[in-house]
Structure formats: C-alpha cells, structure tokens
Amino acid sequence: MLEVKVMQSVALLLLVMTLTACSTAQQTQGDATSEQGEQAEQGSEDEQVTIVYSRGKDDTKGTEKLVEAFEEKYPNIKVDVREMPTDTGKQHDAYVTAFNARSSEIDVLDIDVIWPAEFAQAGYTMELDRFIEQDGFDLAQYNEGALAAAQFNGKQWALPKFIDAGLLFYRKDVVSDDEVPTTWDELQQLAKEKQGENGTKFGYAFQGMQYEGLVCNAIEFVASYGGAIIDENGDVVVNSPETIKGLEKMVEIARSDIVPDNVTTFTEPETYTAFIEGQSVIIRNWPYVYALANDEDQSKIVGNVGVAPLPAGDKGSAAALGGWMTAINKNSEHPKEAWEFLKFAAGPEGQKINAIYGGRAPAIPALYEDEEVLEANPFYAEEGFVKALENAVPRPVAANYQEISEVMQIHISQAMTGQITVEEAVQRMEADIDEKLVQ
C-alpha cells in the first residue's frame, strides 16, 4: 500500500514538472514571438514604401524638384511619378476607368479644380479630415475660394496645389510695354502688325482644340462681353446677345490669319511651344508659362517675356479661374505615406518649390511675399497679375459639370470650324445644357 502511494506521488510530481516546463516553454516562445512582432513592426517603419503619384505632363522642373525634396525629407517613401495625358478630359476619363475598377495602383493624384465633388461623390477619393485633425494641419493658410472648391458635403477631399488664371504673354523684344493690347480689337490689330517680326510666324495663339482648355478660353471671351453660361440661380442663360458677341469675337480670331492654321489642334503645350520657340508674338496661357519661357534649357526668348491681363471686351477683362488639387485614391494601400506626400506637395514647402521651379501660382497667399518666390516670378508682384486674379471667373457651377463642358466643347468647336453659326451654337447649347441640368 505504501509502495502504491509513493508511486502516485512520484507520478504527480512528474506531471507538475512537465506542465511547468511546458508553461515556461510556451511563455518563452510567446515572449520571443512578441519580440519578433515588435522587431517586425519596427522593421516595417524602416522599410521603404513606394507610392505612385499621378499627374498631367509637366514640362517645367517643378515636379522633379518637388519629388527630390520630399524623398530627401522622407527617405523611407519613394515616389513614382506617373504621367497622364495633357488633355484634362482624357485624364478625367482615365481616372474614372481606373477607380471604377477599384484600382489601387495610383496612390496620390492631381485633380482639376472642377473634379473634387464628382470624385468624392463617386467614392474615388479619400476623405482627408482625419489626417488633417490628427496632424493639426492648418487649413486657414489657403486661399478661401481654392479651399472651398475641394470640399463636398462638409468634408475636405483634396488640398489646393496651385491656382490659375488665364494670362496674356507677349514677346518684349517685339511688343513694347506701352503697346500691350487692352482690348480684343487692339490685340487683333497689334498681332497683325507684329506678325513676322524677329522671326515670328504667328501674331497670336491660344487653346483651340475641342477639350477643357477651349471652354476656359470661351468663358473668358463670353464674360468679357458680359455674358454667362449658367447664372447664380442655376438657370441656363447662354443664349444671350452678350454671349453671342463674345463667342463671335473668339470665332473671328480663330479663323483669322493671325493664328496658326491648325489652332483648333492647340492645347496648352502647343501654345507655349509656339511661344518659347519664338514663333508667336502673343499667346494666352496659364501662369506657369513664365517659368518655361525663361528656362534657358528650352526657351529661345529668355528675358523677353511680358505678362498682362487678358484683353477686355465691352464689359472689361475676364480670366478663367483654374487650378489643381491633390487627392488620395480611396483604394490606396499606403494611405499614411500618401498623406505625407500630399501634405508636403500641397503645403507651404511643396507650393514654394512649384512656384520657383514650375511657375505655379501658390494657393497659399503668404507665399506671394516670399522673396525667393518673387525672384523666380517677379510678375506675381505686378499689377497685371493681381488684376488677372481679381478678374478670374469660375466655369459653370453644376454637379455634372463634365457633361456641361462636353456640350460646350462640341458646339463651340463646330462654330469655330464654320460648321454652324455662333447663334446656332448657343441655341444648341441652351437646349442641351438645360436637358443635362434637368437630369
């Protein structure tokens, strides 16, 4: 009996020892696993992440310098720049196709000032408020109008990267400052007189292709003669004597001898190329052209670039309000890194770089007092540039703006090529836009 009890005690002792050993082993293994997890987490922070930044073609050094500065500041984040078509309409369609398929290939993207509401509503872009609140990011530093254009349903879906307004650029070695045209009639006359001087081929060039740039030009002509497309009440008012007169002046210039024969194929790059190659006396384009035209690596007219507000019609000068925002793809697999890049690119550092090397007009007003920015873009301090911003007019405000724009492009292009009259064009625009708004 005693022998049995002894054997039971020994067995119990062995069981306790075994369980204790197992428990110790499990604890040791758990501690090791936990340590490995912490090491892995630490390793992931040190691991380099590549994000894809998508934007339209940039012939300036702005994007290159921006990415260089960001990667130097954030060595663990590499930025792969993906170039999109120059045509903003084609850019828009490419994004819609990718995001409808829930593609995560693009992380950060530049979007036109007219896209934020559409992209937010469609679920293409990521709401930024949580990042902004988390980092205490100051939204008050931005131009109010530009910031508002990136909001939808009370939330922030993008950040302004730069603002635009249509400007007149002229060859100072051909046109003296006191000869700069102040009306569209004066422009036609001066362009005709100066055409051919100092190796020039054209008197004037602008964006005449059937795309968004054509709409911007049309808005400028229409507004300068007192017309509008959709009024502040949301009513279609395109069929008016003022709108007709403005578009007639645009068509008159487009079909004259002062512009290239193929002006209806011109987008921004074709226009500024004609200018920096010394072919055109005067052009209409956006502020970044100043940097291009003074870039010794690609311009033949360095130091001979003048800037002025666009000519006036019966009601004064008008410039299309433009600009671009930066947003994050809702399906990005690297939202944290994407936000760091967006915050840098659209923040003071990025906008300063873009202003100095890319000629992009900042959406942060304080940068217009920065000495380096003004040294690179002295016209920012000129009365002509200030007036251009003051005279900036928005494109028609509509939830389905893209459809409205396409209607305008079609009928204005038909008028420019002589397929229909301007009166017929505005009548068709009135009917088609009214139908789109009803939907």
pLDDT in tens, 294-352: 999 999 999 999 999 999 999 999 999 899 999 999 999 999 999 999 999 999 999 99
User: Helix 212-224 and helix 241-254: axis angle, to 10°?
Assistant: 120
Tens digit of pLDDT for each residue in 352-411? 999 999 999 999 999 999 999 999 999 899 877 878 877 788 888 787 899 999 999 999
* Average pLDDT over the chain, rounded to an integer: 89
- Answer with the residue of higher pLDDT: 22 or 53: 53
User: Does 165-321+394-438 carry CATH code 3.30.420.40?
Assistant: no
pLDDT at 11: 41
Q: Is the pLDDT of residue 244 over 90?
A: yes
Element (H, E) at 258: none
Do 165-321+394-438 and 49-164+322-381 have the same topology in CATH?
yes
Identity at 13, one-letter amino acid code: L
Tokens coding 71: 């990667």
**Can you give the pLDDT at residue 28?**
41
- Give the model's pLDDT for residue 439: 56
Name the β-bridge partners of 181. Answer: none
Q: How far apart are CA 301 and CA 275, in angstroms?
A: 8
**Mean pLDDT of all residues in 24-53:** 54
Residue 331 is given by DSSP the state T
Segment 33-45 shows an average pLDDT of 39
pLDDT digits (tens, 9 = 90+) for 136-187: 999 999 988 889 889 988 999 999 999 999 999 999 999 999 999 999 999 9
In this predicted model, what pLDDT tens digit does every residue of 87-144 receive, in sequence order? Answer: 898 999 999 999 999 999 999 999 999 999 899 999 999 999 999 999 999 999 998 8
Give the pLDDT of residue 405: 95
Q: Hey, what are 434's tokens?
A: 């009214």
Cα separation, 236 vs 217, whole angstroms: 19
| Integer Cα distance of 258 and 203 in angstroms | 5
Extract the tokens encoding 423: 């009166």
Strands, DSSP E only, in 294-374? 305-308, 312-313, 316-317, 319-328
- The CA distance from 5 to 304, in Å, is 110
pLDDT attached to residue 233: 86
What is the token pair recorded at 331? 């399906």
> Does the structure show a pLDDT above 90 at 30?
no
pTM value is 0.78
Mean pLDDT of 13-18: 39
45 pLDDT tier (thresholds 50, 70, 90): low
46: confidence class by pLDDT, cuts 50, 70, 90: low
Neighbours of 172 (CB within 10 A): 15
pLDDT band of residue 39 (cuts 50, 70, 90) is very low
Return the CATH number of the domain spanning residue range 49-164+322-381: 3.40.190.10
Domain boundaries of the chain, sorted by first residue: 49-164+322-381, 165-321+394-438
CA distance 359 to 368: 12
Does 82 or 439 have the greater pLDDT score?
Answer: 82
Confidence of residue 6 (pLDDT cuts 50, 70, 90): very low
